[in-house]
Amino acid sequence: MDKTKPKQHTTIENSSVQQKQNEENPTREQRQFITPPKVNKSHLHGLWALTNRDLRKWYTNPIQLMVSLIQPIIWLGLFGKALNFGTFIAGSGATPAQQNAILLKFFGTTSYFSFLACGMLAFIVLFTSAFSGMSVVFDRRFGFLNKALSTPVARGSIVMGKILQSVGRSLIQAAIVLVIAVILGMDTTHFNPLGVAGAFLIIFLMGIGLSALFTMLALRSADWQTQMAIINLLNLPLLMASNALFPKTIMPTWLQDVVSVNPVSYANDATRQLLIGATGMNSLLVDFAVMIGFATILSAIGIVLSWRLLSK
């Protein structure tokens, strides 16, 4: 309902009276907007405004946040608890010491649940990032993208805004997943502030790289069905062909090769070393180097593509 309508009518009447007066008086007064001030011409202006526009949709809508958290909780609670490798191995008649040795050999830790909890951090980042492209599609479809493109905001900022909002969500959701994992029994004996900070730095880098990937796939598209298909096509392979759910060592060699080039594996490897003190497949230095490279290269490609693909 347009509640301002009655008011509008009176204003129209007023202004028509005013117009008559003006017509009688040929020297009609010129109106002026206040003089424009100097504007910020830096390449980063508007980046926070664009990021916050998308973040606001999320934090002002708690249902969306709740729903996006249910999936990893189900994985953690059902999959993580049901797949009890400890009982599995105990069934073969091994002593507790032997059990732990076997678990340690394959998972780098004696608790499969803790192993999976770290994988779930990657899971939530991956699934959040996958949808970063969708908002580009809808912005194009509903015309907001064209409006933004007609302003002097840097084309790269439009893409970076999408990436950063997705990373922001990923970090908060990962924090919530971690808390839930601890409540459900994740091993916290190795937690220390530096380790947790390092793990979130890794999550940040993974978020940037993955969101950049999915955002650039959406740059030219106005078709959300295609975008959904792309998300489904890439999401599960990126998850399954990584060490998020199972360790690399129990996989066939051809799959091991795929896992070794999947950046998600490096992120998991690092968070496991940092959070639960697991013995990893690479040194932390290698993991960080790979993740920094992944984030930098993909966001650089995203920005370069934004110059070429956002406008025809």
Partner 1 sequence: MEEVIKVEGLTKVFNGSLTAVDHINFSVEQGEIFGFLGPNGAGKTTTINILTTLLKPTSGKAEVCGYDVFKNANEVRRSVGVVPQEYTADEDMTGINNILLCADLYGMPRSDSKPHAAELLKLVELEDAANKKVSTYSGGMRRRLELACGLINYPKLLFLDEPTLGLDVQTRTAVWKYIKTLKEDYRMTLFMTTHYLEEADSLCDRIAIIDHGRIIRVGSPEELKESIGGDVIVVAVKEVEPDISSDIAKIKLVKDVKKNAEIYRMKVELGEEASPQITDLIRSKGLHVTRVSLTKPTLDEAYLEFTGRNLREEEVDKLQMFRQRRTMRQARS
Residues lying near partner 1 in the complex (CB under 8 A): 1-5, 7-8, 11-12, 15, 28, 30-34, 36-37, 39-42, 45-46, 48-50, 53, 56-57, 60-61, 140-144, 146-153, 222, 311-312
Nearer to partner 1, 20 or 28 (CB): 28
Nearer to partner 1, 109 or 306 (CB): 306
Q: In whole angstroms, how close is the CB of 61 to partner 1 at the nearest point?
A: 8
CB nearer to partner 1: give 9 or 105.
Answer: 9
Q: Residues 6 or more apart from 198 whose CB is under 8 A from it?
A: 270, 274, 284
The residue among 34 and 70 lying less far from partner 1, judged by its C-beta, is 34
Q: Which is nearer to partner 1, 149 or 300 (CB)?
A: 149
CB of 147 to partner 1, least distance (A): 4
10 versus 253: smaller Cβ distance to partner 1: 10
- Of 114 and 221, nearer to partner 1 (C-beta) is 221
Q: Closest Cα to residue 132, out of 267, 230, 243?
A: 230
What is the nearest approach in angstroms of partner 1 to the Cβ of residue 150? 4
Provide the minimum distance between the beta carbon of 60 and partner 1 in the complex, in angstroms, as a whole number: 6
Q: How far is the CB of 132 from partner 1 (least distance, A)?
A: 17
Q: How near is the Cβ of 30 to partner 1 at its closest, in Å?
A: 7
Q: Tell me the closest approach of the beta carbon of residue 54 to partner 1, in angstroms.
A: 10
